[in-house]
Amino acid sequence: DAGVIQSPRHEVTEMGQEVTLRCKPISGHDYLFWYRQTMMRGLELLIYFNNNVPIDDSGMPEDRFSAKMPNASFSTLKIQPSEPRDSAVYFCASRRQGDSPLHFGNGTRLTVT
Amino acid sequence: QKEVEQNSGPLSVPEGAIASLNCTYSDRGSQSFFWYRQYSGKSPELIMSIYSNGDKEDGRFTAQLNKASQYVSLLIRDSQPSDSATYLCAVFSGGYNKLIFGAGTRLAVHP
């Protein structure tokens, strides 16, 4: 069973550029989460989806951030325009219904210069 | 008050000792609790889940839950240098929807 797949693994971009992070959840998982991790703030929940529908985006820091889940096997997190303070590791995670735990992807390390 | 609180550490223990990691949470309605381990540069991986008051053992790991005190702990027996990592406590908030993580405790096991 393939785990959560994220791409790219590393992204280096210049301030002002658009960045798109991609995620394929585990098949059969109903929930998909986007987290951001930094040394200062730890692991922060940005947004989560249930059955492809965004449920809570209160963690999205600004309008520059947007996320979509067009189908059960694909989600994107977009930052436009990117800023140096967006530099972090972005994790996608998925889980089944109920109280099942999260399974994380390998993350995307984003560096904005 | 943060929803999930952990001491950031580092917690330093000698090889072979018991490492004790603690976590408190604010949502009294929380029912499900998880411990994740994260090695530097890697993603968090699940090591324990606990749902009922008391202890749950899995190999060298024991999770302890006290809902009345809103307290979860993780004991690692016979600590090994390979256990050196950051340990994240996670609690469901708002029912079984959002999983909220503590800031993590960094554990260092020295030979």
Tens-place pLDDT, residues B35-73: 999 999 999 999 999 999 999 999 999 999 999 999 999
**Which residues of chain B have a CB within 8 Å of the CB of A103?**
46
The whole-number average pLDDT for the span A30-58 is 94
Confidence (pLDDT) at A99: 79
CA distance B81 to chain A (A): 23
Residue B74 contacts residue B102 (beta carbons within 8 Å): no
Asked if B34 and A101 come within 8 Å (Cβ–Cβ), the reply is: yes
What pLDDT shows up at residue B1? 63
| B51, B98, B101 ranked by CB distance to A56: nearest | B98
Residues B9-34: what's their mean pLDDT?
Answer: 93
pLDDT, one tens digit per residue, over B84-102 is: 999 999 998 766 678 889 9
Distance CA A101, CA B57 (A): 17
Residues A50-105: tens digit of each pLDDT: 999 999 999 998 899 999 999 999 999 999 999 999 999 999 999 998 878 899 99
* Nearest-by-CA chain B residue for A41: B103
End-to-end alpha carbon distance in chain A = 37
Name the closest residue on chain B to residue A106, using Cα atoms: B43
Whether residue B97 lies within 8 A of chain A, CB to CB, comes out as yes
* CA–CA separation, B84 and B88 (whole Å): 13
Out of B43, B97, B99, the one facing A107 most closely (by C-beta) is B43
Task: Determine, for residues B46 and A101 on separate chains, whether the beta-carbon distance falls below 8 Å.
Answer: yes
The distance of A6 to chain B (nearest Cα, Å) reads 11
Q: How far is CA A54 from CA A24, A46, A68, B50, in A?
A: 16, 11, 8, 28
The token duo for A19 is: 């960045």
Nearest CA in chain A to B6: A42
Residue B82 has pLDDT above 90, yes or no: yes
Burial-class residue B104 by CB neighbours within 10 Å (0-12, 13-18, 19+). buried
Specify the pLDDT at position A106. 97
Cβ contact, residue pair B99, A33, below 8 Å? yes
**Does the distance separating the beta carbons of A105 and B43 come in below 8 Å?**
yes
> Which among B31, B44, B97 has the least Cβ separation from residue A104?
B44
Convert B13-37 to b/e letters by CB count within 10 Å (16 or more is b). Answer: beeeeebebbbbbeeeebebbbbbb
